[in-house]
Chains A and B, each alone.
Chain A
Amino acid sequence: MSGPPLQFLELPRRLPRVLPAAVRITNWAEPYGEYAPEDGAAQAGRCLDCGNPYCQWGCPLHNAIPRWLDLHREGRLFEAAELAHATNPLPEICGRVCPQDRLCEGACTLETGFEAVTIGALERTLVDDAFRAGWRPDLSAVRSTGKRVAIIGAGPAGLSCADRLARAGIEAWVFDRHAQVGGLLSFGIPPFKLARAVIRTRRAVLEAMGVRFVLDTEVDAALFAKLRRDFDAVFVGTGAEKAVACDLPGHGLPGVHAAMELLLRNARRVWESEDAAPAAFGLPDLRGKRVRVLGGGDTAMDCVRTAVRLGAAEVACIVRRGEADMPGSRREVASAREEGVAFHFHCQPLAIEGATHVTGLRVFDAGAQAERVLDADVVIVAFGFRPSPPEWLTDAGIVVHAAGAAPGLHGRIRVDGERPQQTAAARVYAGGDNVRGADLVVNAVRDGRDAGDAIAAMLRAG
């Protein structure tokens, strides 16, 4: 069943209202509005309901997108939410942070010649609406198995794993070093992309499902050993937080900052209060400054937009590749531009200049085939992240790709056990960035989900 077959022709693609850039940079809120119910339904009705649902194939989670679009169109909100959760433990989050233009919406049949269905916005809207209307995952039929599983890391992989375990009647205990759940979601992704309230809601939902959070807790060798003893299985979702080093001349100058440091500190600040003073959280004062961000991924976009909101006078993004080859979401680039960020493509940074403090950035401009110097007060390095598994992990017999492995593999946990996401240690599973290297949230969700299902299957099998 689907809506009128030609709705996609009659009704153009329309995203929910977005706050104008001038307004949105004054605060840390998500700038995206919501669909009025009938608008959302109408947008959902643009779906062709293809026999080959390309969106579903394009989604790493294989979300049953056409089906929940159809339920949404029919106003069957709770069923839509239930179906969204059937494949995706964190749909409202994916709806916000996924680069849909590269995944589901990019694969959408209508993307050729027409305009893709607004899958991301609809996913977010339908789950938000369902939560507001009181929907919660129904675990009434779940029978407790009496099993317990420890999850290290409350990031997207860990949360997803916890969700699956809870649905299988397994008690999930999630340990994290931060005071809040979410991991990268809370401390990497800036709040204007993913509001803290969304994470709070998700935490509440998970807690209501019986998931236990043990926060502010650093797992060390001793605790890990205890977890392995006391729990029926362990899932390791420790992410990839080690920044790729910047070895440009001048990288030690004051005014050079690592991306994660900036994002993390700002995230902590916003968790406290949007109005809290940056300095109190160790953030540099960017007000009135010329900020240059190195890198072209999503983290770089997060940095430039954060810098704008922290009051920088002039923000530019220095990208080695061309615009078309940028790894990040095009939507983010567009948002950054709207917010006044300049882009220098095909520019290879050569050195950070300055005597006591950053004054400029020397680049090779491949377009002009010439070196030039961009003036700068602050340089933020966003060259990406690598996993850096703690020693207690390798000590416990979990195998990590060694330095000599293929480029990019170094430091990543190997999951080549019998079951999906299983490590070399029988009852230890892993997933997310620590397995993949820095990757999309949705892939971490998939790993967590699959690991949860695999652990449940293992425990069921005895």
Chain B
Amino acid sequence: MIEARGLYDGVERDSCGFGLIARLDDTPTRAVVDAALVALARLAHRGAVGGDGRSGDGCGLLLRGIEPFVRALAREAGISLGRDPACGMVFLPRDADAGDEARALLREALQAQGLRVAGWRDVPLSLADCGPIAEGNRPRIVQVFTDVADATLVAAEDIERALFLARRDAEQRVAGSAGADAARAGFHVVTLSRHTLGYKAMVLPDDLPRFYPDLARADLRASAAVFHQRFSTNTAPAWERAQPFRLLAHNGEINTIQGNRHWALARGARWQTPRLDLELLQPMVSLDGSDSQSLDNMLEVLLRGGLDVLQAMRILVPPATAALEYRDPDLAAFYEYFGLSLDPWDGPAGLVLCDGAYAACALDRNGLRPARWLLTDDGLFVVASEAGVVDVAPEHVLARGKLGPGEMLAVDFAKGTLLQSTDIDAINASRAPFKRWLKQGITYLSTELIDPALAAEPFDAATLRRFQKRFQLSREERDSVLRVLAETEQEPTASMGDDTPLAVLSAQVRPLSDYFRQGFAQVTNPPIDPLRESLVMSLATQIGREGNVFALSPDNARQVMLNSPVLSQRKLRQLWALPQFADARAQLELYLHEGESLPAALDRLCAKAEAAVRDGAVLVLLTDRYPPSDDAVAVAALLATGAIHHHLVRAGLRCEANLLVETAAARDAHQIACLVGVGATAVYPFLAYQTLAALAGHGILADKPGHQAAEFGRSYRRGIKKGLLKILSKLGISTIGSYRGAGAFEIVGLAPEVVARCFPGLPSRVGGAGFAELEADARLLAARADDDGADLEAGGLLKALPGGERHLYDPVIVGALQRAVRSGDVADYQTYADAVDGRPASTLRDLLRLRVEPARAIALDDVEPAADILPRFDSAGMSLGALSPEAHEALATAMNRLGARSNSGEGGEDPARHGTERRSKIKQVASGRFGVTAGYLVNAEVLQIKMAQGAKPGEGGQLPGHKVDATIARLRHARPGIGLISPPPHHDIYSIEDLAQLIYDLKEVNPDALVSVKLVAHAGIGAVAAGVAKAYADLITISGYDGGTGASPVSSIRHAGGPWELGIAEVQQALRTQGLRGRVRLQVDGGLKTGLDVVKAAILGAESFGFGTAPMVALGCKYLRICHLNSCATGIATQLPALREAGFRGAPEMAMQFFRFVADDVRCWLARLGVAKLADLAGRLDLLEALPGETARQRGLDLAPLLGDGGAPASAPRACVEARNPPRDPGLLAARIAADTDDAITHGLPFEARYPLCNRDRSIGARLSGVIARKHGDAGLPADAPMVLRFDGVAGQSFGAWNVPGLALELTGEANDYVGKGMGGGRIVLRPPAGARQAAHEAPILGNTCLYGATGGELFAAGRAGERFAVRNSGATAVVEGVGDHGCEYMTGGQVVVLGRCGMNFGAGFTGGLAYVLDAERDFVDRYNADLVELVRITPEGMEHHRQHLRALVARHVAATGSLRGRAMLEDFRDVAGRFWLVKPKAASLESLAESLRAAA
């Protein structure tokens, strides 16, 4: 929908710290409340503070066992309570009338359920403890007391349901009431239950018990407390979104929320339970608000509908089940059975909840949120985001642990026991004979033989050509996409960026799918690695009428299962012929009738689909396979699918039927993803198969050895499946079920009428092509198809082909730019700039014209000099590795000489460049963390965290082995010739508060540097940017989709990410609205070419400008798009000496010339506009006007939202006004350590000291390492002046981050996440406290993602580590006593010894180094990832040096930590050694490992 005021629509995402404290015996105590309040305060750093410095993003408690307290409150208020009393916490509108009205409506609703309203109490508040922003929107807060009037209402669950129904009824009454808007805005029932009472507010955690004096009352006792501290991306106070909700509190983000909400709507019509009338509850979940709120709604419906917590939680947020099948088939059947009725609500999610029967904590399948628990010997259970939030003496701790991915713990109050994950599994698996039901009910098509032919009835040449022309299958696509898929089972790889116009701006007809920009995860949730972590993903697709989640019945299992939504002809036909569908199928032809308009055809198709489903059709086939004539006009399958899907949802019929789409319009993964994303169940891309059949028939497809010709179809399908997994994974979505219908796209360029009709709910903010234009396109293509003389289109979307799609870096532009920088002649630059600025509209900014009024112009001399403009120019991050050293250094030199900044990219920097004019002032910190050492970080003015890259947001990268030469390997701490993987996510950023932590780490190690966060434009980036500003970033870069890359799949380059014009405008509006703009500097980056680009970006809100491709072109790059092949003939994107010598002709002066030209160009525009300084353009939206556009499609655009203020107050700053954005946490302990060590460092003396610490002391060691690195570089402390710091307690996150040689940190206690992140040397030791009762190897001592990106040093820990231990380790040595899932992922060097149990997926993406893993339970072979590593027994024969080495490492571990387990092993080493595996990369020989061991020794 277009919103007149702007782009920022106030969506928000949140994350946080959370926890649960419960007494197993369910006895209410004051201690539980106190502990919860302390814990909340100790998680304050995980939350955020509003613009006023006082208002929090929200925190709260959900208390259980409160009946005595409730009765006490009622007594005081003079309210007499009868049987089964309940107290509801209610937010009312502050407006007295609206508040009274809402209250009256709630009363009516309660009475209607047979409940009596015994009285009301105004909750006492201390307004002094509430910040002004929060106070501004504070609701009136009251409690309602009820008891039971209806004599038939007896059972506890019936009373609870009555309270639930009363609340839902009240909400609907308020929404429907006369004063709807005012009332709805403020009315919110925090809790209304007999079991729990919630207190939540927009205050800081420390202030919560003061704000609510109730919480400080000694008579407030609870048997359990759920607590939550919120970090929202929105500072606009939203009291109702503070957590806990009525049942749960959530840390993380529900990635699948769009799909989940959507299907909740569809399933409301299908599900039935005798306990509830679901019709009345529609929509079952809130369709806006936060994701957590909707999840809470869903959980509530399931519980009130009859499920218990153990079942409801596990089916809403199930674990990954791929590995379960052989371990526990009954449990796997439980999940598979419920998976047929419900799609996962996938995280990142850490959930804590509490209801009448249970208190529980659960993690999603990826385990991306930390949850550490302990149980005391007096029956107190504590679980929270961090260890150390509740003080318990070690000797009282019975057990400690951390939840793993997909695990759940529950306190069963009835039995007074703690249920472990396995206990819960056992309860669930035995609920019904799921396995038998599935065996009887499910039909598998995937077990059939593979299709022997690509197409059973190949088209004749003329028919094929006609289809290809009608559906725009070009020669380019055939040869460069389809053929590659069939031959290599991969999407083609490409490089550089997408420099074609947006589809809506193009002069060509572009497929509808080109208007869809793929969504992706950044900051608030992480993408998944679909290759290395495929175990969590699934494309399994079911066909059949959906079941009813509330009925345990074999009927629910009558389904056909497909292993993916991509059908072959044979599968489609088999499906169509199944007896159960014989009378339950309908076929709809996707062609216009004679004289029919497109909207009329959609009406007809929707009506027909509805009628068919009402008639019992379960299979609805939408097909464009049977054109009625040679010149038939197709209805785009995407339009039809979206329209029909939504029509069926609205009619309550969607879950009765499946939409199968047989279409020529989908051939690649993006097109198929678009169809599934708008609602298709499965897709048969017949034209792809037909085209491949023709190629195979002509013998053109390359036969691999042993590759049967008939398998090309399967290869194609595999390639598509990988592509689909990638598209899901970049959003962080694991299963296709959660993706289907979720509409996880931003539409750019379709008119509101089209979006409303076919894709309701998808963001589409600037309008564009309407039905008339789309129909005209279809008619044009139909005519072309019918013209026998017309040839296949040549293509030109991938390459700049003359006559094909326009490319903004075509040879003409490249040539003009290169001529200009070589001649230095301003006339040559002008020729270039005129060609760029005068091109037909290709980007959104081309439709924004500067309002130049001659009367306003000033003299050029009155404009600030170029020297003041140049510092605003950065070069975009391009790594050494992607670029040759010559090109990389030329660019750095140029930027430094200009007084601007170059960006190192991800790949380290040669220390020889530190301090010279060849250094990069911006150092990038990307997900691979290559060469990110303390020395690297302190040699920077700006530290840029690359969250996403314009060319491929949501994806990792890979530097192919042939580009890893000796230099690159040295800088990246890797081995030459071995490919290097950058993971899709930063493994220390799964959520916004994690980003805040990394920013904190960076500011600790280099307090002088500004921290920058690079984001990619997409709808909703405003909210993300606000969160980033609240996470204390100093700079935010907004990249457009058109950024470059050294290597990416083609579909990522072409379809992910949005235009930066929308991004910067939205971010500007969001930051100003939230009072955050003054704290951060904004940069844009993406296809900037001339001064005009800079000026427009500045007006939209940018203060700084990133250039990637243009300076490369200036240095000689010819935009060949072959960077990924290492064959760059211009010597820029290659490491081959021959090419660098013969090809590279660049010099720093050329890049300097380019930037000077642009700066002068900017000055000329400023003079024309009458503005003296670039900075003065900030927010001068009056200087821009939207052009009407040149084509019908363009004329449908409405760019007004870009030029709006988003509702921000006029007084809000339009640019950054603060020098820095310092974190709120001053790091007192780190400061003390710095002061204590100052003398020793200055004078080169040894140093030892001991400090207590707690979980609020974060990044301990980082500041000191930074100081040392400044003085000594990565060499660290001199050998004669070591430092040993000893600590007692629970360390906060990032203990020992970027540790340097010579610095030893020894901790007695335990640590949280990210220990030894980026460690470059020195030593970290962790040992459990004296008096601990639990065996060390059974208890966690380290959190998640430790040693991430470490390049050296050693870590010994007498205890277990969490998930992703030693991820991307490239040099550290570590001994631990157990690891969670994904151990040693992406490791490229170093050594890891695991003396205990390993989680799943050990060694994924492991290309260097080695690990020794104890396999006590003999199941390690099922737990490691065999793609890249192999296991070798450490036999006495031939492996003697490994035995010696292992023994020595264990001995050092024992010496450092006093490990009992280690000591026992040494005593029994002969026997124990045989139970270890050596884990080594397949690519490395045993000999080479032995050699490196000797070298290390």
Interchain CB contact under 8 A, A5 and B1126: yes
**Chain B hits for A56, CB < 8 A:** 801-802
**Chain B hits for A168, CB < 8 A:** 789
CA distance A51 to B800 in the complex (A): 6
Distance to closest chain A CB from B1134 (angstroms): 10
Interchain CB contact under 8 A, B1143 and A112: yes
Interchain CB contact under 8 A, A8 and B1120: no
Q: B230 interface residue, CB < 8 Å from A?
A: no
CA distance A141 to B790 in the complex (A): 11
Task: Map CB proximity to A onto B1100-1143 as digits: 1 under 8 Å, 0 otherwise.
Answer: 00000000000000000011111001110111000010110011
Interchain CB contact under 8 A, B810 and A113: no
Interchain CB contact under 8 A, A6 and B807: no
Q: A57-B802, A143-B788 are in contact. Are A5 and B1122 (CB under 8 A)?
A: yes
Interchain CB contact under 8 A, A53 and B794: no
In-complex Cβ contact of B1121 among A9, A50, A57, A64 (8 A):
A50
Q: A48 interface residue, CB < 8 Å from B?
A: yes
User: Interface size of A by Cβ–Cβ distance < 8 Å?
Assistant: 34
Distance to closest chain B CB from A116 (angstroms): 11
Q: A5-B1125, A57-B812, A168-B789 are in contact. Are A52 and B799 (CB under 8 A)?
A: yes
Distance to closest chain B CB from A461 (angstroms): 12
CA distance A274 to B1139 in the complex (A): 49
Interchain CB contact under 8 A, B1127 and A52: no
CA distance A168 to B788 in the complex (A): 9
In-complex Cβ contact of A49 among B700, B794, B1122 (8 A):
B1122
Task: Map CB proximity to B onto A324-347 as digits: 1 under 8 Å, 0 otherwise.
Answer: 000000000000000000000000
Q: A50-B1121, A51-B496 are in contact. Are A113 and B811 (CB under 8 A)?
A: no
Q: B1019 interface residue, CB < 8 Å from A?
A: no
CA distance A210 to B483 in the complex (A): 36
Task: Map CB proximity to A onto B491-527 as digits: 1 under 8 Å, 0 otherwise.
Answer: 0001110000000000000000000000000000000
Interchain CB contact under 8 A, A113 and B1129: yes
Q: A5-B1122, A6-B1136 are in contact. Are A76 and B700 (CB under 8 A)?
A: yes
Interchain CB contact under 8 A, A141 and B1143: no
Q: A62 interface residue, CB < 8 Å from B?
A: yes
Distance to closest chain A CB from B99 (angstroms): 64
Interchain CB contact under 8 A, A9 and B1139: yes
CA distance A109 to B1122 in the complex (A): 12
**Chain A hits for B803, CB < 8 A:** 62
Q: B475 interface residue, CB < 8 Å from A?
A: yes
The A31-89 residues at the B interface (CB cut-off 8 A) are 48-54, 56-58, 62, 64, 67, 74, 76, 86
**Chain B hits for A114, CB < 8 A:** 1129, 1142-1143
**Chain A hits for B496, CB < 8 A:** 51
Interchain CB contact under 8 A, A54 and B1129: no
**Chain A hits for B483, CB < 8 A:** 1
Q: B480 interface residue, CB < 8 Å from A?
A: yes
Q: B798 interface residue, CB < 8 Å from A?
A: yes
Interchain CB contact under 8 A, A48 and B1122: yes
What bracket does the count of chain B residues touching chain A fall in? 35 or more
**Chain A hits for B1119, CB < 8 A:** 51-52
CA distance A456 to B788 in the complex (A): 13
Q: A48-B1127, A52-B814 are in contact. Are A67 and B475 (CB under 8 A)?
A: yes
Distance to closest chain B CB from A27 (angstroms): 40
**Chain A hits for B1127, CB < 8 A:** 5-6, 8-9, 48
Q: B145 interface residue, CB < 8 Å from A?
A: no
**Chain B hits for A143, CB < 8 A:** 788
Distance to closest chain B CB from A442 (angstroms): 14
Q: A268 interface residue, CB < 8 Å from B?
A: no
**Chain A hits for B1143, CB < 8 A:** 112-114
The A103-153 residues at the B interface (CB cut-off 8 A) are 107, 109-110, 112-114, 141-143
In-complex Cβ contact of B801 among A48, A53, A74 (8 A):
A53
In-complex Cβ contact of A1 among B480, B495, B1121 (8 A):
B480
Q: B189 interface residue, CB < 8 Å from A?
A: no
Q: A167 interface residue, CB < 8 Å from B?
A: yes
CA distance A86 to B788 in the complex (A): 15
Q: B462 interface residue, CB < 8 Å from A?
A: yes
**Chain B hits for A456, CB < 8 A:** 789
Q: A5-B1127, A56-B802, A114-B1143 are in contact. Are A51 and B1121 (CB under 8 A)?
A: yes
In-complex Cβ contact of B798 among A51, A109, A142 (8 A):
A51
Interchain CB contact under 8 A, B791 and A52: no
Interchain CB contact under 8 A, A52 and B1118: yes
The chain B residue sitting closest to A7, CB to CB, is: B1127
Interchain CB contact under 8 A, A54 and B1118: yes
Q: B809 interface residue, CB < 8 Å from A?
A: yes
Q: B825 interface residue, CB < 8 Å from A?
A: no
Most buried by A among B788, B789, B807, B1119: B789
Q: B1220 interface residue, CB < 8 Å from A?
A: no
The chain A residue sitting closest to B1123, CB to CB, is: A51
Interchain CB contact under 8 A, A57 and B791: no
Distance to closest chain A CB from B784 (angstroms): 13
**Chain B hits for A6, CB < 8 A:** 1126-1127, 1136
The chain A residue sitting closest to B803, CB to CB, is: A62
CA distance A109 to B799 in the complex (A): 15
Distance to closest chain A CB from B839 (angstroms): 16
**Chain A hits for B1145, CB < 8 A:** 112-113
Interchain CB contact under 8 A, B1130 and A112: yes
Q: B892 interface residue, CB < 8 Å from A?
A: no
Interchain CB contact under 8 A, B1122 and A52: no
Most buried by B among A57, A113, A114: A113
Q: B727 interface residue, CB < 8 Å from A?
A: no
The chain A residue sitting closest to B462, CB to CB, is: A141
Task: Map CB proximity to A onto B656-700 as digits: 1 under 8 Å, 0 otherwise.
Answer: 000000000000000000000000000000000000000000001
The B444-462 residues at the A interface (CB cut-off 8 A) are 462
Distance to closest chain B CB from A355 (angstroms): 53
CA distance A50 to B1125 in the complex (A): 11
CA distance A5 to B1120 in the complex (A): 12
**Chain B hits for A54, CB < 8 A:** 811, 1118
Interchain CB contact under 8 A, A167 and B810: no
CA distance A56 to B801 in the complex (A): 8
Distance to closest chain B CB from A339 (angstroms): 32
Distance to closest chain B CB from A219 (angstroms): 29
Q: A53-B799, A54-B811, A67-B475 are in contact. Are A113 and B1126 (CB under 8 A)?
A: no
**Chain B hits for A67, CB < 8 A:** 475, 479
Interchain CB contact under 8 A, B789 and A109: no
CA distance A50 to B1139 in the complex (A): 15
Task: Map CB proximity to A onto B786-829 as digits: 1 under 8 Å, 0 otherwise.
Answer: 00110100100011111100010111101000000000000000
Interchain CB contact under 8 A, B479 and A52: no
In-complex Cβ contact of A57 among B495, B810, B1131 (8 A):
B810
**Chain A hits for B992, CB < 8 A:** none
The chain B residue sitting closest to A61, CB to CB, is: B802
Distance to closest chain B CB from A302 (angstroms): 31
Interchain CB contact under 8 A, A64 and B794: yes
Which A residues form the contact surface with B (CB < 8 A)? 1, 5-6, 8-9, 48-54, 56-58, 62, 64, 67, 74, 76, 86, 107, 109-110, 112-114, 141-143, 167-169, 456
Known pairs A5-B1122, A5-B1127 / 8 extra A-B pairs, C-beta < 8 Å: A48-B1122, A51-B1120, A51-B1121, A52-B1119, A56-B802, A76-B700, A113-B1129, A141-B788
The 10 closest A-B pairs by CB, nearest first: A51-B1121, A5-B1127, A62-B802, A5-B1125, A50-B1120, A113-B1142, A113-B1143, A57-B811, A52-B1119, A51-B799
20 sampled A-B residue pairs with Cβ under 8 A: A1-B483, A5-B1122, A48-B1122, A48-B1129, A51-B496, A51-B1121, A52-B799, A52-B809, A53-B800, A53-B801, A54-B1118, A56-B801, A57-B802, A62-B802, A107-B811, A112-B1145, A113-B1131, A113-B1143, A114-B1142, A142-B789
Which B residues form the contact surface with A (CB < 8 A)? 462, 475, 479-480, 483-484, 494-496, 700, 788-789, 791, 794, 798-803, 807, 809-812, 814, 1118-1122, 1125-1127, 1129-1131, 1136, 1138-1139, 1142-1143, 1145
